[in-house]
Amino acid sequence: MTFQQPEVDTSPPVSDEIRKTTCYMCACRCGINVHMKDGKVAYIEGNRDHPVNKGVLCAKGSAGIMQHNAPSRLRAPLKRVGPRGSGEFEEISWEDALDIAQGWLQPLRKDHPEKLAFFTGRDQSQSFTSFWAQNFGTCNYAAHGGFCSVNMATAGIYTMGGAFWEFGQPDWDHTKLFLLFGVAEDHDSNPIKMGLGKIKARGTRVIGINPIRTGYNAVADDWVGITPGTDGLFILSLVHVLMKAGKIDLDYLSRYTNAPVLVNQDKTSPDYGLFLRDDHGAPLVINRKTGKLAPFDMYGVRPDLNGTLAMGEITHVSVFRLMADQYLDDGYAPEAVAERCGIPAPRIRAIAAEIARVAFDESFELDREWTDFRGETHKTMRGRPVSMHAMRGVSAHANGFQTCRALHVLQILLGTVEVPGGFRFKPPYPKPATAHPPPHCRVTPGKPLDGPHLGFVQGPEHLALLNDGSPARIDKAFTWENPMSSHGLMHMVISNAHAGDPYRIDTLFLYMANMAWNSSMNTRGVMDMLTDTDDNGDYVIPRIIYSDAYSSEMVAYADLILPDTTYLERHDCISLLDRPICEADGAADAIRWPVVEPDRDVRGFQSVLVELANRMALPGFTHADGSPKWQDYADYIVNHERKPGIGPLAGFRGDGSAAGRGAPNPAQLDRYIENGGFFLKHIPEEASYYKPWNRAYQDWAVDLGLFDTPQPYLFQLYVEPMRKFQLAAEGHGDRQPPDHLRQQIKDRMHPLPVWYETAPHGDTKFTVHALTQRPMAMYHSWGSQNAWLRQLHGHNPLYVPTKLMRETGLQDGDWARVTSPHGAITVPVLEMAALNENTVWTWNAIGKRKGAWALSPDAPEATRGFLLNHLIHELLPPKGDGLRWANSDPITGQAAWFDLKVRIEKTSPPKDRPQSAPDLPEMKSPVPPPSQDLAWKVGS
């Protein structure tokens, strides 16, 4: 046939209009261009101007159109009419729904505000929801950090005033070696991929330390398939080798860390292990110039890392000498840790050598003059181009806090934090633990709580305990069981409320947290607790209110549903007061705004909270005469002032030209929309590194309203508040731990990082580590309702390493019974070679309950899909001491998801049809069945 080339229109119109807002397909918060046709969402792409994603967008972000139109969207407020868990509801009006909620909440506020437990899951408005809870007066508020990565965040803040992800990032432009520890594929979605692309383009070596070689670890130049839970030991072995070889940055340590600070060594003193301080409380060092004591921040001081001081009977030595004592010990030698970590000793040395080579032989200087907090001016900024990043993989163990501390200490010893080529903070970080408030828990009926719920304890005096020593909070955060639980313990709320321990609550109010499914340990047990009744036939947890946009598993277990909007139908602010989107070179915040109006009877949850607050005349929300300050969340975002001149959004304040500080600007949201949905203010060049000690940065931060005064500080290699808890456990002070917790506190709260074994003891039947991670193309449980994304990850096999496949006689497609001390599941398996040889894993939250998410009951998510959660209990198996110990980090209370160990055996395949076990009964769907055939085209 003769070649005939048709005419193609290569310049068709793209869309009628682009509306720029912020993605919410995960917690990454990228900027998106929403292309509109005929008033409908037609196509979503990344916003090139946005500081987070600079135009790129992940699979989830591009699939937002299917999330926005998902058939699982709730349509109207729901009132439960069947038993809890059945999914039987009737749709009611908002007026009725708000009457019911008010009718439950207002009497609680009057008499027992703490009987409301308000926990907000994957909330991106925590500064607002906590403000609401504080004004309601309950002490029982937190978001999901306790079961996510509180270890990472808290260890970072106590150690160096910030951690990874939202707190900081590698210096992608200058780094020459990048180490990635325990990062699941979904964190921190686009910025990590962009950074990896940037450094790999110039051939920078990437080392991935992770039991599983997928995603980022698949492109790592070197993969270290470490045994789960031993990262801390591996890191401290690197510390040992590097210290022993003198490959540490002594100048940096003496100037910017508490390594030279003197520590009391008198074992009989109530100050044993505490810092020597002057009358103003400033820690003291030996000045190497004079050999005499000096405050750490004195002009001209040269703090001596090797300092010692005898004052009468009492000897003081520097933190650095304590570190030398501890880490030069041969117990940390590569040969001593190799077997436990599953990494040959020569390989540990090779990695240490590469770190040393790059940090010291490839050091460089940027020609930027800067002045430090002591007043000394430096002509250049020295770079140490080794950077690191870590996330939940190292964090979600019962030794996660100390492991994260160890990682930060490693970076600090190398002098790579806040220097060119290393790790950089993002505003409002750096911000030390001492600049955060302590937790508050004093409840007064009818009044607001005495301060913010969550914070950073500095010692036993800040624990959230009642006068009788019992826990003030339902989740037992900030108690002797887990003193530094800065994010609360959402995962313990339901089991504690069910047990009435420490007390009974009346109403459980949850937002965006799928606690009846993938967000809980012991999923089946949690369902039973939510449906359990007392002798009168009343539910043990009397009332449950839940807000979600979608028909998640949790919906079926609530009494009242307040349906939320999709992310394209709502106002939000991604605030500097909260979890901002800043970059190392600038402060940034952003908004969401309704690019389309809801076509259902749903409302943005935050606006519903404003309305409830107004109905109850909560103090922070209403004027003295009871009239409301704000009509809805958008009104709050613009007009709320946390302090005079400082509000949820930093940009376009006052007349529109003010940044950070300024009067509320009624046109602020319009200005954000004109600017692409975000605001960005760059950090001056002389303030770009050495931020905790850099006067120019500190002054810039004060100008912007991040601080009221400059807050320079030292990195805390030695965390003194931890030592204060140990002192209490040793018998010092008024506030004393219960006897059964003394040893745990002494052992675990060591002020220098330590490693300890967390794998369950005593039962040698469970020897295989079992992990989960989320894929890059899914976020928590949301992806299953997305017609495009579920074609990528519609079910989740258990990935089993080659050696275990052989040992257990398994082949691809076989079914295995997986047991833990807590339970058993039956699941399909698939062999994987690029995996630690004693670890199995699966994708988290792909498995679904039949009847949820508007999926057909025979959807693969509900048949072959499964959760590992059934194998994990919130308590450890009994140890025979008559006590039940939490399956969590004894310092922060972080849920120890990844301490799970299992046994795996081949089993016969399910009869009739593929079905994993447990197979829970189908719930009635609160939304109608969807149309199954999609040929999606908006406009003509």
Partner 1 sequence: MTDLPSATQRQMGLVIDLDTCVGCQACVISCKGWNTENYGAPLSDQDAYGADPAGTFLNRVHSYEVQPDHGPAQLIHFPKSCLHCEDAPCVTVCPTGASYKRVEDGIVLVNESDCIGCGLCAWSCPYGARELDLAAGVMKKCTLCVDRIYNENLPEEDRIPSCVRTCPSGARHFGDLGDPTSEVSGLVADRGGMDLMPEMGTKPVNKYLPPRPKDGLAAQGHGDIDLLAPLLSPVATDATGFLGWLDRALDKLPGGDH
Cβ nearer to partner 1, comparing 10 with 467: 10
> Which uninterrupted H or E stretch holds 158?
helix 150-160
Q: Distance between CA atoms of 738 and 729, rounded to whole angstroms?
A: 9
Cβ nearer to partner 1, comparing 268 with 932: 932
**Length of the chain measured in residues:** 940
Cβ nearer to partner 1, comparing 416 with 892: 416
Minimum Å distance from CB 608 to partner 1?
28
Instruction: Give the CA dihedral 359, 287, 296, 382, nearest 10 degrees.
Output: -20
Minimum Å distance from CB 260 to partner 1?
10
| Secondary structure letter of residue 484 according to DSSP | T
Cβ nearer to partner 1, comparing 220 with 610: 220
Minimum Å distance from CB 223 to partner 1?
6
Per DSSP bridges, beta strands 177-181 and 386-390 are parallel
Residue 18, SS3 per DSSP: strand
Residue 642, SS3 per DSSP: coil
Q: Distance between CA atoms of 788 and 297, rounded to whole angstroms?
A: 57
Contact 196, 216 (CB under 8 A): yes
Buried b (16+ CB within 10 A) or exposed e, 556-565: bbbbbbbbbb
Minimum Å distance from CB 473 to partner 1?
39
Cβ nearer to partner 1, comparing 49 with 271: 49
Residue 674 burial by CB count (10 A; 0-12/13-18/19+): exposed, middle or buried?
exposed
Tokens of 348: 């540990």
Residue 675 burial by CB count (10 A; 0-12/13-18/19+): exposed, middle or buried?
middle
Q: Distance between CA atoms of 370 and 691, rounded to whole angstroms?
A: 10
Cβ nearer to partner 1, comparing 113 with 303: 303
Contact 406, 753 (CB under 8 A): yes
Q: Which one, of 259, 23, 283, lies nearest residue 159 by Cα? A: 259
Minimum Å distance from CB 2 to partner 1?
7
Tokens of 592: 């969401």
Cβ nearer to partner 1, comparing 1 with 81: 1
Minimum Å distance from CB 571 to partner 1?
25
Minimum Å distance from CB 350 to partner 1?
3
Contact 210, 393 (CB under 8 A): yes
Buried b (16+ CB within 10 A) or exposed e, 145-170: bbbbbbbbbbbbbbbbbbbbbbbbbb
Cβ nearer to partner 1, comparing 59 with 595: 59
Residue with tokens 């002494």: 746
Q: Which one, of 923, 920, 845, 73, lies nearest residue 558 by Cα? A: 923
Minimum Å distance from CB 378 to partner 1?
10
Cβ nearer to partner 1, comparing 150 with 927: 927
Minimum Å distance from CB 405 to partner 1?
22
Minimum Å distance from CB 757 to partner 1?
25
Tokens of 582: 């800043």
Minimum Å distance from CB 644 to partner 1?
41
Minimum Å distance from CB 831 to partner 1?
9
Helices (H), 680-782: 695-704, 720-729, 739-748
Cβ nearer to partner 1, comparing 190 with 520: 190
Cβ nearer to partner 1, comparing 4 with 709: 4
User: Omega into 428 within 30° of 0, i.e. cis?
Assistant: yes
Q: Distance between CA atoms of 457 and 459, rounded to whole angstroms?
A: 6
Cβ nearer to partner 1, comparing 656 with 929: 929
Q: Distance between CA atoms of 220 and 721, rounded to whole angstroms?
A: 37
Contact 823, 109 (CB under 8 A): no
Minimum Å distance from CB 755 to partner 1?
21
Q: Distance between CA atoms of 820 and 883, rounded to whole angstroms?
A: 20
Cβ nearer to partner 1, comparing 192 with 441: 192
Cβ nearer to partner 1, comparing 337 with 729: 337
First-to-final CA distance of the chain: 33
Cβ nearer to partner 1, comparing 56 with 508: 56
Cβ nearer to partner 1, comparing 496 with 836: 836
Q: Distance between CA atoms of 165 and 184, rounded to whole angstroms?
A: 13
Tokens of 236: 């401290």
Handedness of CA 619, 623, 624, 627 (dihedral sign): negative
Minimum Å distance from CB 162 to partner 1?
24
Minimum Å distance from CB 621 to partner 1?
40
Contact 70, 785 (CB under 8 A): yes
Minimum Å distance from CB 17 to partner 1?
12
Contact 409, 253 (CB under 8 A): no
Contact 378, 391 (CB under 8 A): no
Minimum Å distance from CB 922 to partner 1?
14
Minimum Å distance from CB 801 to partner 1?
9
Cβ nearer to partner 1, comparing 216 with 456: 216
Tokens of 327: 């880490």
Cβ nearer to partner 1, comparing 361 with 538: 361
Q: Distance between CA atoms of 482 and 498, rounded to whole angstroms?
A: 20
Query: What residue type is 618 in one-letter code?
Result: L
Contact 877, 760 (CB under 8 A): yes
The C-alpha angle with vertex 100 and arms to 98 and 105, in degrees rounded to 5, equals 90
